[in-house]
């Protein structure tokens, strides 16, 4: 009898778990397929990393864009960028279609677009345009500050 009760409890638990399976937290039309890396990222808690800034206008970004120093764009770490590659062409990287939301000492919840790959960044670090850094983190002279961010 006790055994039967345990089985029923187990079944009830499984049923609850299945019906409570998360729906996609993403709103984009094309990014929320379970099992993809985008989906996994979206389920992650906020990332905590260092924000730095760089000369974003120096040439084509890894995503294949020309961006201005004043644009709200970021580079993500090479390790994160490379884990989203779809083929040998970095311009095709899926992460180049993603937006993130950054919270720093100056402003919180600022939306920016991933446009580049940062060779010197730790996995959860992001490299910002100078204007975006000033907007979210503070004066460029700070150089580096911890921030949090997540995928939009």
Q: Which of 5, 16, 19, 30 binds ligand NAG (CB under 6 A)?
A: 30
Q: Which residue in 5, 20, 23, 55 binds ligand NAG (CB under 6 A)? A: 55
DSSP labels, the chain:
-HHHHHHHHHHHHHHHHHHTPPPP---SSSS--TTSHHHHHHHS--EEEEEEE--GGGS--TTS----TTS-EEEEEHHHHHHT--SS-GGG-GGGG-EEEEE-SS-SSEEEEEEEEETT--TT-EEE-HHHHHHHT--GGG--EEEEEEE-
Instruction: Pick the binder of ligand NAG from 24, 32, 65, 69 (CB under 6 A).
Output: 69
Binding mask 96-135 for ligand NAG (x = CB under 6 A): ----------------------------------x-----
Q: What number of chain residues touch ligand NAG (CB under 6 A)? A: 6
Tell whether residue 27 is a contact of ligand NAG (CB under 6 A). Answer: no
35 binds ligand NAG (CB under 6 A): no
């Amino acid at each position: 009898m006790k055994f039967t009760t345990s089985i029923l409890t187990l079944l009830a638990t499984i049923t609850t778990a299945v019906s409570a399976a998360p729906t996609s937290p993403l709103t984009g039309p094309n990014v929320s397929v379970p099992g993809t890396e985008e989906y996994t990222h979206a389920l992650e808690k906020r990332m905590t990393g260092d924000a730095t800034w760089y000369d974003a206008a120096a040439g084509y970004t890894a995503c294949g864009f020309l961006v201005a120093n004043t644009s709200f764009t970021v580079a993500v770490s090479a390790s994160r960028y490379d884990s989203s590659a779809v083929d040998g062409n970095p311009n095709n990287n899926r992460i180049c279609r993603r937006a993130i939301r950054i919270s720093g000492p100056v402003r919180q919840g600022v939306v920016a677009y991933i446009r580049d790959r940062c060779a010197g960044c730790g996995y959860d670090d992001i490299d910002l345009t100078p204007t975006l850094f000033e907007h979210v983190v503070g004066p460029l002279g700070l150089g580096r500050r911890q921030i949090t961010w997540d995928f939009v």
